[in-house]
Amino acid sequence: MPLREIITIPHETLNRKTRPVTKIDADLQRLIDDMVETMRDAPGVGLAAPQINVPLSLIVVEFGDEEDEDAPKKLYTLLNPEITRPSTEMVTGMEGCLSIPGFVADVERHQSVTVKALNRHGQPVKIKASGWLARIFQHEIDHVNGILMTDIATKIFRLEDMEDDDQPDAGEDL
Ligand code: NI
């Protein structure tokens, strides 16, 4: 399973809406495995197919529990993901993006969302998420719609201008 190169801005694939996944075959399974490996290697907590220059509506997310550091991580592979039932409550938080190295951004997100998608076998799934996990899903689903955190940020920070204490933890990029 080879690692794929993560593309960074400016790259036109990152600003384009992707096409839906329609064929669930061995090539797709290989692509998914490569994405998981690439996300873990980065390291990151989420990766969308356009970030490896594949214009498909496909994301992988791996996250544990924000309250419990020792909780096992859960891997989500979602084809054609869509946000449904976004909360009216919004929260602002700081995000990093593997495709925008050297920057972080304050982004306003729904506090909770339901994500409707297909799993890697093509079966429909519905996931309720809140807090940081909801933020990761919203960030990755934006990627498949050609939207970057810097397009919707309320504030963008250059990492080298930040005090070490204010920088987000490594490995939390999306
Ligand atoms: Ni990102």
Residues 48 and 58: beta-carbon distance below 8 Å: yes
140 is catalytic: yes
User: CA–CA separation, 174 vs 170, rounded Å?
Assistant: 11
pLDDT at residue 171 in the model: 61
Whole-number Å distance, alpha carbon 43 to ligand 1 midpoint, is: 12
pLDDT at residue 170 in the model: 57
Catalytic: which of 62, 95, 140, 160? 140
Q: Identify the CA nearest to 108 among candidates 82, 88, 126.
A: 88
pLDDT at residue 173 in the model: 83
Whole-number Å distance, alpha carbon 117 to ligand 1 midpoint, is: 19
CA angle 162, 66, 1 (to 5 degrees): 85
Cα separation values, 3 from 25, 96, 147, Å: 20, 21, 24
| 20 half-sphere exposure, CB direction, 13 A CA radius | 7
Whole-number Å distance, alpha carbon 168 to ligand 1 midpoint, is: 14
Whole-number Å distance, alpha carbon 163 to ligand 1 midpoint, is: 22
User: CA–CA separation, 142 vs 153, rounded Å?
Assistant: 12
Given a cut of 70, the residues of the chain with pLDDT beneath it are 1, 169-171
In terms of Cβ atoms closer than 10 Å to its own Cβ (0-12, 13-18, 19+), residue 121 is exposed
User: CA–CA separation, 66 vs 63, rounded Å?
Assistant: 8
